[in-house]
Amino acid sequence: MANRWTNTLSQSDVTPEAAFLNRRQLIAGAAAGFGLAGVAGVSNAQEALTPNSWEDITQYNNFYEFGTGKTDPAEYAGALTTTPWTVEIDGMVKNPGKYDIDDIKAAMTIEERIYRFRCVEAWSMVVPWNGFELADLLEVAGVQEGAKYVAFETLYRPEEMPGQRFQSLDWPYVEGLRLDEAMNPLTLMATGIYGKDLPNQNGAPLRLVVPWKYGFKSIKSIVKITITDKEPPTSWNKANAREYGFYSNVNPNVSHPRWSQASERMIGGGLFAKRVPTLMFNGYEDEVASMYEGMDLSKQI
Ligand SMILES: Nc1nc2c(c(=O)[nH]1)N[C@H]1C(S)=C(S)[C@@H](COP(=O)(O)O)O[C@H]1N2
Ligand SMILES: [Mo]
């Protein structure tokens, strides 16, 4: 069923016809002797909304609390206790408090959103998330006048998060959004993938998903949300301000200091893994570009 957000499809929208057409293009590209270069020519916009497999999504992760390797989260995150789980909402809100995750989930409308997901390391996936709009949660919390930003914090529990015993990052992991970004209808609080609860390695029981920004903005296993009038510190910016800014909007025209962001490697597909052009705002330009009017996106990274 199509939902009200353009550029957002639920799984039933990815028709067999579209899948067939994509396969035909793959075969045509290969048969015409283009080889892998021909495959890379398949349009990102069309191909990208076929979700990655459960295995791709849950076995290739970044979650430094469990180690810096891509398979560390799948290997070690099982030990994390996610019940009970509370999320503290504080700062400039009318209804501050510690809320049980089950109460939050019961109160919110959980929907499916199939989004492109683009890591700053230049790999990407397509993930069928389940979750609710952050805007809905903020509405219940009651944002006070004068608020400008939303800050997020991940659980700090080194007994269960072995990566926190090392200073790979300054713990706990923190992130932030400008209030208008947080209120954008695309901004999701994810609770599941493929209709199942979020696996621990993907940020159980609650993680942010901001599809037009590099993946590190999508903070996992959130225990605290603070509404504030000051730009909050963010983990990767603290670690290396020259390489990672507060905004971190996906932008093929602005290279990371150590690599190009013009294209990305789509995870999965084995032999047919593709490198495709990266899209401005990760393909969500129509929905989000207006928030950045007047900003120099090559400077305010
Ligand atoms: N708390 C926390 N959140 C995090 C990270 C992390 O290390 N710790 N890694 C980020 C990065 S760099 C990426 S690319 C995504 C990866 O999400 P995934 O493993 O679900 O694909 O999570 C982001 N959220
Ligand atoms: Mo990332």
Residue range 221-238, pLDDT digits in tens: 999 999 999 999 999 999
| Ligand 2 centroid – CA 75 distance (Å) | 18
For residue 57, the ligand 1 atom closest to its alpha carbon is 21
pLDDT at 251: 98
Instruction: Determine which residue's CA is closest to atom 16 belonging to ligand 1.
Output: 62
pLDDT at 174: 99
Region 233-255: mean pLDDT is 98
Is residue 22 over pLDDT 70?
Answer: no
The listed range with the strongest mean pLDDT (25-39, 70-84, 257-271) is 70-84
H helix and E strand count, the chain: 10, 12
Domain 19-292 in CATH 3.90.420.10: yes
Kindly report whether the peptide bond that precedes residue 172 is cis, defined as omega within 30 degrees of 0. Answer: yes
Q: Residue 49 — pLDDT band, cuts 50, 70, 90? A: confident
Q: In which region does residue 67 sit, left (phi positive, over 0), alpha (psi from -120 to 50) or beta (all else)?
A: left
| Ligand 2 centroid – CA 122 distance (Å) | 8
Q: How far apart are CA 301 and CA 299, in angstroms?
A: 6
Residue 100 Cα to chain centre, angstroms: 23
Q: How far apart are CA 188 and CA 210, in angstroms?
A: 7
Is residue 11 over pLDDT 70?
Answer: no
pLDDT in tens, 180-207: 999 999 999 999 999 999 999 999 999 9
Contact (CB, 8 A) for 166 and 158: no
